[in-house]
Amino acid sequence: MEVLEIGLILMGLMFLFLGAGLWVALSLFAVGVIGLEFFTSAQTGPIIATTAWSGLASWSLAPLPLFIWMGEILFRSRLSEDMFTGLAPWLNKLPGRLLHVNILGCGIFAAVSGSSAATAATIGRMSIPELRKQGYADRLILGTLAGSGTLGLLIPPSIILIVYGVSAELSIARLFIAGILPGAMLIILFMGFVMIWATLNKDKMPPAGPDMGFMEKVRASGRLIPVIVLIASVIGSIYGGIATPTEAAAFGVVGALILSAISGSLNRASFIDGLMGATRTSCMIGFILAGAAVLTVTMGFTGIPRELAAWIAEMNLSPYALLAALTVFFIVLGCFLDGISVVVLTTSVILPMVQAAGIDLLWFGIYVVLVVEMSQITPPVGFNLFVLQGLTGKNLFSIARASLPFFFLLLLAVLLITVFPEIATWLPQKMNG
């Protein structure tokens, strides 16, 4: 049977299993087993056992459960409430005023949670009632939340960057540092759009709140500042070479426990809830990675990635044409799957093509995350849209319309890092130096 036919059969089976509601991890395992058993002469049992184990027995994965646990601890420490009271006084004079709380709040919480949906849900639960009460338009409230919630995938410590780093065999530390400038660029783009909209629509903006003195603002931010210092310390220790990602993650967990204890939110129940939440999420991701490892080996035995890379090479596509095609592909796939599943499903097939085109894999990791972020606010299955629908009860497509400007801002960010790849590569290069 031709390699192309085998590839189409396996792809059809994958969509069949996923469409039937089978877990992503089980779908990956099933397609991998079927591919090995029916289309190769390899010994299926030993290969699955050794591959699944090697897919998980990686030191690069060690920071994953620790960063997830750090996020779970801070999630239960009243961080979201502190964020609104801490940020609002500083933003009162900016055009757009408290709408920027959504953007900066999501940026800070993104560095804690590493999850797009969790970021949008947590900040939205706190900010939507308050912003509505003060008279801000629903369209901008929901748009800023949907768009800024996607920062959870990019700003380090990002769970999806750890997964990509393991799949592509890249340094997690360098990927984390590569995500800093693109993440800051997105925050600036989002805040810039809100400022321009607010300037052009002054009649739709509520009046500014009472002004506060500098020390009053500092006191209002008192409980938020330690969290920001903790996050900066974790990332700074990695960038400065003081700590590995695993050591920095362990430091982050200890720091989060201390902050939680000081705030009075650490007790036996919250400790166990945070630990169990981190365990469930880590096991889910580990299961997916093991299934992806089996599918990757199956792909190698069937020769599909090699043939696909050769086919792409024969088409003489320029790197830009290849990226344009992959952008559409990732957006469509991301409409039906979460970001981690998109990465583990595609790396075994996509990365050989990308390498053949001479594209830097470190830069490509940031590109993939940005494109997957776009899919989080794209119907019919944009996860952030579902989160906000659950919070507000509004129609899914009205929320999608509100988030449309932010979709185009994400597209602009993809274009900017494509034209100026140094946005993603400059800091890792300095880090090496």
Percent of the chain topping pLDDT 70? 91
pLDDT of residue 408: 92
Residue 432 has pLDDT above 60, yes or no: no
Of these ranges, 183-192, 205-214, 222-231, the one predicted with the greatest mean pLDDT is 183-192
Return the SS3 of 42.
coil
Structure-derived torsion over alpha carbons of residues 79, 81, 86, 91, reported in degrees to the nearest 10: 120
Structure tokens at 187: 């925050």
What's the pLDDT tens digit per position in 37-94? 888 888 888 888 888 887 777 777 788 788 778 878 877 777 656 767 777 777 777 8
Distance from C-alpha of 297 to C-alpha of 52, rounded to nearest angstrom: 10
Q: In the structure, what pLDDT confidence band is assigned to residue 338 with cuts at 50, 70 and 90?
A: low
Give the range among 174-183, 300-309, 322-331 with minimum mean pLDDT: 300-309
Give the range among 16-25, 269-278, 358-367 with minimum mean pLDDT: 16-25
Structure tokens at 88: 């609002």
What's the pLDDT tens digit per position in 393-414? 787 778 888 888 998 999 999 9
What is the rounded average pLDDT of the residues 165-180? 87
Percent of the chain topping pLDDT 90? 11
Q: Which helix (H) or strand (E) holds 407?
A: helix 396-419
Question: Which amino acid is it at 65?
Answer: P
Structure tokens at 329: 């592909």
Distance from C-alpha of 176 to C-alpha of 241, rounded to nearest angstrom: 13
Residue 212 has pLDDT above 60, yes or no: yes
What is the rounded average pLDDT of the residues 158-162? 82
pTM value is 0.75
DSSP for 126-185, written as a single string: HHHHHHHHTT--HHHHHHHHHHHHGGGGTSSS-HHHHHHHHHHT--HHHHHHHTHHHHHH
Question: Which amino acid is it at 196?
Answer: I
Q: In the structure, what pLDDT confidence band is assigned to residue 426 with cuts at 50, 70 and 90?
A: very high
Residue 173 has pLDDT above 80, yes or no: yes
What is the rounded average pLDDT of the residues 171-181? 88
pLDDT of residue 156: 78
pLDDT of residue 380: 58
What is the rounded average pLDDT of the residues 218-231? 78
